[in-house]
Amino acid sequence: MVHQECINCKTQYGIDEIVYFCRKCGDILEIKFGMTELGEKLKASDWKKTPISVWRYRDFMPIHEATRLVTLSEGGTGLHRSQRLCDELGLKQLYVKNEGENPTGSFKDRGMTVGVTKAVELGARHVICASTGNTSASLAAYAARAGIKCTVLIPSGKIAYGKLSQSMIHGAKVLQVRGNFDQALEFVLKLAEKHKDIYLLNSINPFRIEGQKSLGFEICEQLGNEAPDRIVIPVGNAGNISAVWKGLTEFYKLGIIKKLPKMTGIQAAGSAPIAQAIKTNSEKITPVEHPETIATAIRIGAPVSWKKAVNAIRESHGTAETVTDEEILDAQKILARVEGIFVEPASASSIAGLKKLVKSGVIGRDERVVCITTGHGLKDPDTAIKQSEKPVEVDAEMSAIENALGLKKQAILAR
């Protein structure tokens, strides 16, 4: 009832087969369920009694029943009604789904709990990924949890420190490739092809996408089994927007939600092949050879899941937009200051894109919008510190502290 399927030529593969690209046409794969069977399974299941989390949706996951899960309690992140940000942007109803609340601080944990569980189920002892930082941080943690070896390839010099520290402390073998993410990805693809004992966990791995689709499920359930009018989401390699859309369409086919939202992808101006393809209505993307942006997490020029993403955006009548580094940093600050939510620059791109699209009238002021913030601000403290007011150094004296605060000297009142 459940199998892997090529998104292009529809060739099918079993869920216990290790295959990353279609052997016939070379395109990427997705997991397909028989929806009638899944519906029947859900009727007999008590999934609605489990707390909101990735594994609440175990029935929707292509994992065998007897398999022990590799989990750190992922998902169940807050959907925060953000009234002050609404006022700031001129919207009526806005929620921030804050994925920074996951165990390693990003949405990647949703995919990794399923991906690493699958890896162990398949008997893998060594997992690998290329990463702009968050994927590697998450994989390192889940590999540690599972007690298997982990190797990560990251672009040298361009990943945020918080993320690097995570991969290191969890004991992954970290290779800093003198090149960008897209080059690092090419190497891990070749490595996994050549060395069959290494299991690849980049987002071309469809089992990771299955975990990440829970993000779409949760949003609907947190809104009382309703989809919002629109979901705004940062896009890099394009796995996440594809995953959220997959979750939404499954809920729709099962009749759990009655309408689907407009998927709206935001890319950094210097790394925006998908947004360009949407804007120019073109069939294909043109990879960006030298991607640049302060949002290093989404500094990706040749997104592997672009077809799935473009399809999600077009099928849902959504759109895509680009935002500059300045707009990203401004949005990061606004979100931190009006809602108390600290996110890394890549995450703030969704807020920046929302702001831009409301201003240009593409997003209506009456729309009910969910903005996904994908990673915690502490992932990249350097950027936050650079754009904030510096701490004021003072002598350890009351008067100096009062002076620095601009407080008038007051006589201490006798009690």
Residues that bind ligand AN7 (CB under 6 A): 106, 131-135, 203, 234-240, 297-298, 344, 346-347, 374-375
Given a contact cutoff of 8 angstroms between Cβ atoms, the answer to whether 182 and 188 are in contact is: no
Q: Which is nearer to ligand AN7, 30 or 121 (CB)?
A: 30
Min CB(134)–ligand AN7 separation in Å: 3
CB of 387 to ligand AN7, least distance (A): 17
Question: Shortest gap between Cβ of 111 and ligand AN7 (angstroms)?
Answer: 9
Pairing of strands 2-6, 12-13: antiparallel
Residue closer to ligand AN7 by CB (options 117, 374) is 374
Q: Positive or negative CA dihedral for 49, 146, 15, 153?
A: positive
Nearer to ligand AN7, 261 or 301 (CB): 301
Q: Which residue has the tokens 């029943």?
A: 65
Q: Which residue has the tokens 């989809």?
A: 227
In terms of CB distance, is 121 or 350 closer to ligand AN7?
350
The token pair at 208 is 């990771």
Both structure tokens of 143: 């590999």
Task: Please name the helix (run of DSSP H) or strand (run of DSSP E) that holds residue 276, with its range, or none.
Answer: helix 273-279
**One-letter identity of residue 321:** E
Max distance between CA atoms of the chain, in angstroms, equals 87
Instruction: Report the nearest approach of ligand AN7 to the CB of residue 233 (Å).
Output: 8
Name which of 293 and 374 has its Cβ closer to ligand AN7. Answer: 374
Sign of CA dihedral 109, 262, 205, 39: positive
As measured in angstroms, the least distance from the Cβ of 5 to ligand AN7 is: 20
Q: Closest approach of Cβ 382 to ligand AN7, in Å?
A: 15
- CA 77, chain centre distance (Å): 12
CB closer to ligand AN7, 119 vs 272: 272
CB closer to ligand AN7, 120 vs 298: 298
Distance in Å from the first CA to the final CA of the chain: 78
Residues in the chain, overall count: 415
Smallest separation, CB 410 to ligand AN7 (Å): 47
C-alpha dihedral (56, 2, 65, 143), degrees to nearest 10 = -70
Element (H, E) at 177: strand 173-177
